[in-house]
Structure 1
Amino acid sequence: MREQSVAWEDRQLAVLVSGGVATLLWGSALTPNELIERADDALYAAKRRGRVLSRKGRAPG
C-alpha cells in the first residue's frame, strides 16, 4: 500500500505501511511462534530499509 490519506477528526492524515511476510511449507516443523517471529523479523528488516516496503521471512531450517 502506497501512501494513503485518511480523514480523522477534521484532518487528513498520511498513512504509510511496511510489512513482513513469512510462509509455512506443508510438513514444516516450525511452531506458530517461530512463524510469527520470522514475519516480525521481516517487518523490522523492511522498516530498516525505508518506508513502504515489504520483506519475506527467512526460509525454514
Structure 2
Amino acid sequence: VLFMATLAATRWNPTIQRHFQQLTDRGRPKKVALVACMRKLLGILNAIVRTQQPWRAA
C-alpha cells in the first residue's frame, strides 16, 4: 500500500516529486529514490497524525 501511495505521490505531490527528482538527479537508482520517498511520506503522515493538522504543502 505504501509503495503504491508513494508512486502516486511522485507524480502528483509537489514535495515528494521534488525530493524524488533531486535524488535521481544525484544519481540514485529509481528504486532507492522511491524508498527514500516512502520514508519521507511516512514522516509527513506521522506529523499529520501527531499534530492533528491538515496537510499544507510548503
The TM tier, using the shorter chain, reads 0.3 to 0.5
Greater Cα radius of gyration, structure 1 or 2: 1
TM-score, with normalisation over the residues of structure 1? 0.42
TM-score, with normalisation over the residues of structure 2? 0.44
Choose between structure 1 and 2: higher strand proportion: 1
Choose between structure 1 and 2: higher helix proportion: 2
